[in-house]
Amino acid sequence: MAEDSPDIFATSLETFDTDVLAASAQRPIMVDFWAQWCPPCLVIAPILEQAVNEYAGGVALAKLEVDEGENMKLAGRYAVRGFPTVVLFQNGVERGRFSSAQRLDFILDFLDQHIV
């Protein structure tokens, strides 16, 4: 993960409301619900980062690891049934989602269609 980037960051149950819901009033934020044991999660990670870089500050990526513990509560809150699931938030509400590893062109089209 590009940890030094303000566009790509880790979030958690404790910080989600501020990191994602409140911050999505400034710009859209994709939340990547992922798990370390999930091969498709590892495949899509660099592709999501590339999509964020192509948007040049117009969208951010919050990484939410849901292997176990408290972060699983967020997966339940947003009815995430499989990994990876990417949920797009804007102005504090969900604008769209997709599951499984996808290609860059799919992700860019998804963003174009769902960002208002």
pLDDT at residue 8 greater than cutoff 70: yes
Of 29, 35, 41, 61, the active-site residue reads 41
Question: What is the longest distance spanned by two Cα atoms in the chain?
Answer: 34
**What whole-number distance in Å separates Cα of residue 14 and Cα of residue 16?**
6
Cα 69 to chain centroid, rounded: 19
Respond yes or no: is residue 113 known to be catalytic.
no
- Flag whether the pTM goes above 0.75: yes
Q: For residue 92, which of 39, 18, 42 has the smallest C-alpha distance?
A: 18
> Residue 29 half-sphere exposure, CB side, CA atoms within 13 Å?
25
- Structure confidence at residue 2 as a pLDDT band (50, 70, 90): low
Higher pLDDT, 53 or 2: 53
Respond yes or no: is residue 38 known to be catalytic.
yes
Q: What is the mean pLDDT of residues 107-113?
A: 97
- Structure confidence at residue 44 as a pLDDT band (50, 70, 90): very high
Q: What is the mean pLDDT of residues 20-44?
A: 97
User: Which superfamily is assigned to 12-114 in CATH?
Assistant: Glutaredoxin (3.40.30.10)
